[in-house]
Every structure is written in structure tokens, then in C-alpha cells.
Amino acid sequence: MKRVLTCVAVGLLGSLFFGSAVAVVKVDVAEELERLAAAYGFDIQPEHLDKTREHQGRAELEELMPRLRELLVSFDHIILQTPDGGVERVIILGETVIFTPPDASASAGDIKQPEGAEGEEKEGDGDIVLSTQRKGEQHLVQVSLEGAEGAKVDQQLLVDTGADHLVLPASLLSNLKIPETSLKPTQAQTANGKVDALMGLLDAVSFGEHRITGVTATFIEDDKLGGSALLGMSVLGRYKMTIDDDKNTLTLSKK
């Protein structure tokens, strides 16, 4: 059976306007998400719910998808849908940040990329359509990872919208010429619990002619990662994403 999941990354959706006679209904975002997840059977991870704690949102629309989008208007988020229009999973990336362009009078040398910032550079136009290999119900894609000093490594990554970043085995650090001293110690959640990890930026990730720069990646010791490397939301969150099980393809479209 064909199963196509469409993942929509949402930034600023804009505001919904109603007549002055209509009262604005405010609810606790986390509590409403929990209620909707229980009522409609979709998945939302506790760490994603935590990003909405102590936030109020509007909840005036009745249908599930419009209600979710209205509720999450202040958050960058992703809604994975099933072919029949239902909701399979909701992913919260964090609060929406409004980008303020730098002063046009500033010189290029005065403008610095903030720590952890991610850029994007594309070569080629239109949708990115990638062939995938199957691992059970999951899909793997081939990418090129760019580290320091021009080092490049070809790597298969498992498509995983539940991962915040790229997740890579620590053994790749030497091939990518990335010194551990340039990485930030952190912890990552795996199927076996939390493990120590190192986080940093790759120079780029390439899909054929398409190249994305400044991609956050988390490196975990190989034996704790279980042989998997993950293509997470530091890449996927920049696109609308469609997975086609019948054709074994992953399509990434401009937002």
C-alpha cells in the first residue's frame, strides 16, 4: 500500500483575524497538545512538549489541522500527516525567531555568523528528489558530508524526523578532519537512554547538485549509536518533505 507522509515545516504563519465580537480563546499550549494527542492518537515527544511549557496559544478553530497550526503559530513546527489527512506526529523545533537583516552600511567583515547558526546554499532549481534504500519501514539516503579543510565523506543516513540534528558516528571525525576540541560536549537521547555526545557544525551537506551549508551535527560513539547515522531536522526542517514508499523516493521541496 502506498504511504506518503508529508512533513510541513512552519515558520511565521501570520495572524488570524476575527471580528471584534469574537472572543479570543487562550489555552495552555502544552496541555492542549497533550489533549489533542490523546484524542486523535498522534505522537508528540515529551522533549518537544517541554518547548511549549508556560506558553499560551489561540484555540478557536475546530478541525484538527487548522487548530494545531493556530495553536503553534509562535513556534517553528512540523506536522506529519497520513495519506487520509490525519496527523501522525507533531514536532516542535522551538519558538519562532524573527530574522532582522544586518545594517546595510555594515561592512562584510563586521557581520559574523552567530555560534551554532546554520546557513543554506543551493545549486540547482526545483524539488530535490532522492532515491532511497529501505531498512524495513525506514528510508536511507546517500549524502556527502563536508568537514574541515575540504574533507568530504560519503555517508548513508537514515531519514529520521524525530532527530533534532544530523546524528553521526564519532569515528567519522578523523575522516572529516574535525578536531574534538572544536566541538561542544552534550548529551543525546538514544533508544538505550542518554549518552555523552559532541555537537558542532559541518561545513556542508550535499545531495547531488544541492548543497546546504552550516549544518548542526551530533557525534556519538559508534558502539552507542548502534550502527545508524541519522538525517535529522537540521536539514529536513528546512523543507517540505514527502516520502513515497512505493517509489522509494524522498522529495524535499522549498517552503
Tell me the per-residue pLDDT of 12-37, one tens digit each, with 9 for 90 and over.
Answer: 333 323 333 444 568 999 999 999 99
Per-residue pLDDT band at 204 (split at 50, 70, 90): very high
100 in a structural domain: no
Domain shared by 176 and 222, yes or no: yes
Range of the domain at 76: 4-15+22-95
Per-residue pLDDT band at 145 (split at 50, 70, 90): very high
Residue 8 CA to residue 47 CA, distance in Å, equals 20
Residue 212 contacts residue 205 (beta carbons within 8 Å): yes
Using the 8-state DSSP alphabet, how is residue 120 labeled?
-
Domain shared by 128 and 248, yes or no: yes
User: What's the grid cell of residue 242?
Assistant: 514527502
pLDDT of residue 162: 77
Domain shared by 124 and 249, yes or no: yes
Residue 12 CA to residue 73 CA, distance in Å, equals 7
Per-residue pLDDT band at 142 (split at 50, 70, 90): very high
Of the ranges 43-47, 136-140, 241-245, the best mean pLDDT one? 43-47
149: left (phi over 0), alpha (psi -120 to 50) or beta: left
Burial (0-12, 13-18, 19+ Cβ within 10 Å), 90: buried
Domain shared by 62 and 168, yes or no: no
The packing angle between helices 64-71 and 29-40, to 10°, is: 160
Domain shared by 82 and 130, yes or no: no
218 in a structural domain: yes
Domain shared by 156 and 53, yes or no: no
Higher pLDDT, 85 or 122: 85
pTM > 0.85: yes or no: no
Terminal-to-terminal C-alpha distance of the chain: 28
28 in a structural domain: yes
Among 82-86, 170-174, 245-249, whose mean pLDDT is lowest?
82-86
How many independent structural domains does the chain possess? 2
pLDDT of residue 174: 94
Residue at 4: amino acid letter: V
103 in a structural domain: no
102 in a structural domain: no
Higher pLDDT, 163 or 99: 163
Per-residue pLDDT band at 147 (split at 50, 70, 90): very high
User: What's the grid cell of residue 160?
Assistant: 529520521
> What distances in angstroms separate CA 192 from CA 159, 226, 245, one per listed residue?
19, 10, 28
Judged by DSSP in three states, 1 sits in coil
Residue 217 CA to residue 224 CA, distance in Å, equals 16
153 in a structural domain: yes
